[in-house]
Amino acid sequence: MSCRVVVLLSGRGSNFQAIAEAQLPIDIVAVVGNRPQAAGLAYARERGLTTVALDHTEHPDRAAFDALLADEVARHRPDLVVLAGYMRILSPAFIARFEGRLLNIHPSLLPAFPGLKTHERALAEGVKIHGCTVHFVTAELDHGPIVIQAAVPVRADDTAAALAARVLEQEHRIYPQAIRWFAEGRLLNRHGRVNLKDDPASQSVFPHGA
């Protein structure tokens, strides 16, 4: 039985597209967007996937909107919920309902640079290595157990846009990989650490051939 995945997104949807095209052992049972005009929703429709647009601006109360969102997601009976550029902070109740089967991608090497404008902040700090992280979502923003990371060297003449583009390329590699491991039942998520089941000695999981 393949892994039932619900994708949540807000915009462009390039990570979702990478996931959809990666030939993973998953069934994308719904793509839910909080902005009806999101390009990611249009792409999902083109692929013939079930899409749902829940416009958050019509629901000013965050807790009430997230309760609605959680019910919508649950209706599709997901084994895994994938945040693919979902640009709203989720309420603790939403996270509690899906904890352990809720993944996010963040454009930095967490725990460095949680939050927004990660590439600008990395350049401002002068870091030499930047990157991206797939992690399980917990109540603390951008702090859940790390599944996989990819490193991206920073160049002396980098701009935020150029760095973002190179990080995005890596996002498109590591998110499908993390989802494949989850779908194959290979992720062991214990005490805030994620290891590969068939590689119990590994303390962390790195992309191969980075």
- Residue closer to ligand GRF by CB (options 145, 188) is 145
Q: Whole-number minimum distance, CB 161 to ligand GRF, in Å?
A: 12
- Residue closer to ligand GRF by CB (options 6, 105) is 105
Q: What is the rounded CA–CA span in Å between residue 209 and residue 206?
A: 9
Any contact of residue 107 with ligand GRF (CB under 6 A)? yes
Instruction: Using only the alpha carbons of the chain, give its radius of gyration.
Output: 17
How many C-beta atoms lie closer than 10 Å to residue 106's C-beta? 25
Q: What is the rounded CA–CA span in Å between residue 56 and residue 115?
A: 20
Any contact of residue 13 with ligand GRF (CB under 6 A)? yes
Q: Would residue 76 show up in a list of annotated catalytic residues for this protein?
A: no
User: The dihedral of CA 158, 159, 161, 163: what is its sign?
Assistant: positive
Structure tokens of 159? 């701009």
- Residue closer to ligand GRF by CB (options 70, 132) is 132
Binding residue (CB under 6 A) for ligand GRF from 15, 91, 177, 195: 15
Give the active site residue among 56, 59, 106, 135: 106
Any contact of residue 171 with ligand GRF (CB under 6 A)? yes
Q: What DSSP line would sit under 149-198, residue for residue? A: EEEEEPPTT--HHHHHHHHHHHHHHHHHHHHHHHHTT-EEEETTEEEETT
Binding residue (CB under 6 A) for ligand GRF from 6, 14, 43, 98: 14
Any contact of residue 85 with ligand GRF (CB under 6 A)? yes
Q: Which helix (H) or strand (E) holds 106?
A: strand 102-106
Q: Please tell me the count of residues contacting ligand GRF according to CB under 6 A.
A: 14
Q: Whole-number minimum distance, CB 198 to ligand GRF, in Å?
A: 28
- What is the 8-class DSSP label of residue 68? H
- For ligand GRF, the nearest residue by Cβ is 85
- Residue closer to ligand GRF by CB (options 106, 195) is 106
Q: Give ∠ CA 203-108-148 in degrees, rounded to 5.
A: 30
Active site residues: 106
Residues that bind ligand GRF (CB under 6 A): 9, 11-15, 40, 84-85, 105-107, 168, 171
